[in-house]
Amino acid sequence: MPLMDWLFSLVDEILMGETDQGRDMESGVTIGCQRQDAAANVEEPSWFGQFRNGANPWMARYMYALMFLASNLVAWAVRDYGQIALKDLEKLKGCHGEGECLGAEGVLRVSFGCFMFFIIMFFSTIRTSKMGVRQDKWHSGWWSFKILLLVSLTIIPFVVPSVFIDIYGEVARFGAGVFLLIQLISIITFIKWLNNCCQSDKNAERCHIHVMLIATTAYVVCILGVILMYIWYAPEPSCVLNIFFITWTVVLLQLMTSISLHPKVNAGLLNPGLMGLYIAYICWSAIRSEPAGTRCNRKAESSHHTDWLSIISFFIALLAIVFATFSTGIDSECFQLRKKEARGKDDIPYGYGFFHFVFAMGAMYFSMLLISWNSHHPLKRWTIDVGWTSTWVRIVDEWVAVCLFIWMLVRQIVWKSRHASATA
């Protein structure tokens, strides 16, 4: 089918980035060194001077992360403690009651403002390629204006009629899925790059013991994690769904290992080991997202009442959202469809447009987590990503991750066989 061929070609071109990165490792050039060299090319005045004048684009990304975190906190405050401001909110044109400006819809309104801010930054910096130009200065400076812009865009959605917010909520589901897909490709590409780095001619002998140690540790942690999930989340034979989730994760781990060790692939144990850790974590997150009240989720039952551990876990989850968005946003090299040319001294250190696009999708993603992917889901304070919808989103995310990883392993064999059959 032409559509499927195009889709596989697109994913293949995206994942081919790690091959070029592996070759860079063999020539003594690493991604970290490239980033350090790029940062070294930037003038470094005082810290305050860099903040005020926007002299350092590397510092700018931390400012954007702090602004993104602030939007997350505002969305949470509107959801959990917005009743305090209910009387003032009712005076706004778009708010005619608690349901329209608080709870899930309040989260969507804050998310919409954050999304608008980063989508404006995306369109204003997408074609930036050189440092020192107006777009570069706009990306790395003008912080007072940007903070005012973000605050304004956060307030404006509260005067927007609810029908538009409902439409945004539906679009946000798609945007959150795009964010998860970008994150998956970034993680898989990093795992592949690390494996290529360790298997290169320059580092093969030196990294052999380290690779075996890391791979063995990864498999041991996976096995222990599976055992604990069976104990915590499948205490009874009647917990069929959780048993299926956990067992299928083990099957997927075995499948990835078998394909990776196949003579035609020969990718070693590091790749499936690290990927196994990731899918085990996703499986745990999925089962943990099951709502309290199910007898198969003892952990949820034990955390039914809000305590200090629930509060700490909530803030850790928020920080994890910001970190995932931040780390994915600066990884634009993994998503270049064309072969990257040598970096010039005045080239930007990372893709500004891609950076802001990931944060825009991240704004949709954090809204879905705070409302558990369902605007009609009953919300409880200090909870995040809880509900059956959240569980199935995580499970599908795990299966998509395995499919992408397997395709990354076998794509060269598939293309060679198709090329051979085409030329025959």
Residue 188 is predicted with a pLDDT of 87
CA distance 43 to 40: 7
pLDDT band at 16 (very low <50, low <70, confident <90, very high): low
Q: Does the pLDDT of residue 224 top 90, yes or no?
A: yes
**H-only helix segments in 234-307:** 240-261, 270-288, 298-302
CB 393 within 8 A of CB 364: no
CA distance 142 to 160: 27
Q: Does the pLDDT of residue 278 top 70, yes or no?
A: yes
Q: Does the pLDDT of residue 406 top 50, yes or no?
A: yes
Rounded average pLDDT over 113-129: 90
Which residue reads 């825009």 in tokens? 360
Residue 86 is predicted with a pLDDT of 58
Q: Is the dihedral of CA 60, 66, 70, 73 positive or negative?
A: positive
CB 59 within 8 A of CB 142: no
Residue 329 is predicted with a pLDDT of 64
Q: Is 31 exposed, middle or buried (0-12, 13-18, 19+ CB in 10 A)?
A: middle
CA distances from 72 to 108, 156, 224, 314 (A): 11, 17, 33, 12
Contacts 24+ apart (CB under 8 A), 213-218: 214/270, 214/273, 214/274, 215/268, 215/269, 215/270, 215/273, 215/274, 216/273, 218/270, 218/273, 218/274, 218/276, 218/277
Residue 340 is predicted with a pLDDT of 54
- For residue 411, what are its two tokens? 């794509």
Q: Does the pLDDT of residue 352 top 80, yes or no?
A: yes
DSSP-derived letter for residue 337 is S
CA distance 166 to 351: 32
Residue 332 is predicted with a pLDDT of 55
Rounded average pLDDT over 228-248: 90
Residue 59 is predicted with a pLDDT of 84
Selected residue with higher pLDDT from 152 and 21: 152
Q: Does the pLDDT of residue 26 top 50, yes or no?
A: no
Nearest Cα to Cα of residue 349 among 120, 42, 107: 42
Q: Is 378 exposed, middle or buried (0-12, 13-18, 19+ CB in 10 A)?
A: exposed
CA distances from 357 to 119, 121, 364 (A): 6, 8, 11
Nearest Cα to Cα of residue 285 among 386, 363, 364: 386
pLDDT tens-digit series, residues 354-388: 889 989 999 999 888 888 887 776 667 777 778 88
DSSP-derived letter for residue 301 is H
Whole-model pTM: value is 0.76
Residue 298 is predicted with a pLDDT of 62
Residue 15 is predicted with a pLDDT of 47
Selected residue with higher pLDDT from 306 and 60: 60
Rounded average pLDDT over 25-30: 40
The secondary structure of 364-410 as a DSSP string is: HHHHHHHTTT-TTS---TT--S-SHHHHHHHHHHHHHHHHHHHHHHH
DSSP-derived letter for residue 222 is H
Q: Does the pLDDT of residue 18 top 50, yes or no?
A: no
Q: Please work out, in degrees rounded to the nearest 5, the angle formed at the alpha carbon of residue 146 by the alpha carbons of 131 and 114.
A: 110
pLDDT tens-digit series, residues 336-346: 545 555 566 77
Selected residue with higher pLDDT from 19 and 310: 310
Of 11-20, 153-162, 197-206, 398-407, the poorest mean pLDDT is in 11-20
Q: Does the pLDDT of residue 287 top 60, yes or no?
A: yes
Selected residue with higher pLDDT from 322 and 275: 275
CA distances from 242 to 234, 245, 285 (A): 6, 5, 12
CA distance 401 to 251: 14
Residue 309 is predicted with a pLDDT of 59
What is the pLDDT of the chain when averaged over all its residues? 77
- Taking each continuous run of H as one helix and of E as one strand, the counts in the chain are 18, 0
Q: Is 345 exposed, middle or buried (0-12, 13-18, 19+ CB in 10 A)?
A: exposed
Residue 89 is predicted with a pLDDT of 57
Rounded average pLDDT over 277-289: 91
Amino acid at 146: K
pLDDT tens-digit series, residues 182-218: 888 888 888 888 888 777 767 667 777 888 899 899 9
Q: Residue 345 phi/psi, 5° resolution?
A: -65, -30
Helix then strand then coil, in percent of the chain rounded to 5, is: 75, 0, 25
Which residue reads 């002998």 in tokens? 205
